[in-house]
Amino acid sequence: MAKHAFPTDCPCQSGKPYKDCCFMYHMEKQQPPTAEALMRSRYAAYVLKKADYLLYSWHPDTRPAELDLDGDAAKWVGLAIVATEAGGPDDDEGTVEFVARYKIGGRAAKLAEKSRFVRFKGRWVYLDGLVDE
């Protein structure tokens, strides 16, 4: 990746530098310890268009065969965690409710979702989500 494309602040809005945060997850060198951390890393992957990581962190039963983010016109501009349930280091499942804001065609929009996460081979993965219409 070109140096200028490497974000300083992590797009997941943890307030930490990207290199000390989701970068380690995106490189698959570390695993997020909690469902919320995984969710944040997946949001950051949408921002940075890291389709490989999104597929990697998606449960094999529910993930799409492929994911093309290059044609995705949405520009992600913010993430707010609304609520979490379980999903801790000692849990096997958890839910994270969040609101992600984005812009598409210059218009602001938001996605509100309650996502379910489970452990797959010991690491957290995204299972599915209920979108709040």
- Binding stretches for Zn ion (CB under 5 A): 10, 12, 14, 21-22
Least distance from Zn ion to the Cβ atom of residue 60, Å = 24
For Zn ion, the closer CB: 33 or 64: 33
Least distance from Zn ion to the Cβ atom of residue 25, Å = 8
For Zn ion, the closer CB: 20 or 130: 20
Query: Phi first, then psi: what are they for 105, rounded to 5°?
Result: 60, 35
Q: Tokens 């379910």 belong to which residue? A: 116
Least distance from Zn ion to the Cβ atom of residue 115, Å = 16
Token code pair at residue 63 = 């993930």
Token code pair at residue 79 = 């993430």
For CA atoms 98, 50, 30, 9, the dihedral sign is negative
